[in-house]
A and B are shown apart, each in its own frame.
Chain A
Amino acid sequence: MSGILKVGGSELINDNGGSGALQWGTGIPANTIINQKFYTTTSQPTITSNNNFASFSTPFKTTITGTKSNSKFLIIVSMTVSSSSVGDAHIYGRLRDNTNSNATIGTEGSDGLFGDWLASNAYSGGVRLNHTELYTPSSHSGGDLEIEVLMKQNGAVTTLLNRRSNDNFYQRFSSTLTILEIAG
Chain B
Amino acid sequence: MIVEALKELGITNDFAVDADVETEEHYKRSFKDISGENRFIEWPEVKSKMDELQADYDAKQYQRDRKYPDLGEQFDLLFKDINEGTLDKTGGFYTAIKSVKEAHPKPSE
Contact = CB atoms under 8 A, between A and B. Distances in A.
B1 interface: yes
Contact of B16 (A57, A163, A168): A57
Interface stretch (B28-36, B74-82, B84-92, B100-108): B28-36
A44 B16 contact: no
Contacts of A57: 16-18, 30-32
Given A160-B19, A163-B19, A84 B3 contact: yes
B68 interface: no
Interface in B37-58: 54, 57
Interface of B: 1, 3-4, 7, 12, 14-20, 30-32, 34, 54, 57
B44 to A, nearest CB: 20
B12 A45 contact: no
B14 A50 contact: yes
A58 interface: yes
A99 B29 CA distance: 23
21 contacts: A43-B20, A44-B20, A45-B19, A46-B19, A47-B34, A48-B3, A49-B15, A52-B14, A54-B34, A56-B16, A57-B17, A57-B30, A57-B31, A57-B32, A58-B18, A160-B19, A163-B19, A163-B20, A165-B4, A166-B4, A168-B57
Interface residues of A, number: 22
A165 B54 CA distance: 13
Given A45-B18, A46-B16, A84 B32 contact: no
B73 to A, nearest CB: 20
A55 B12 CA distance: 17
- Identify which of A50, A57, A156 gathers the most chain B CB atoms within 10 Å of its CB: A57
Interface string A160-177: 100101101000000000
Interface in A39-81: 43-50, 52, 54-58
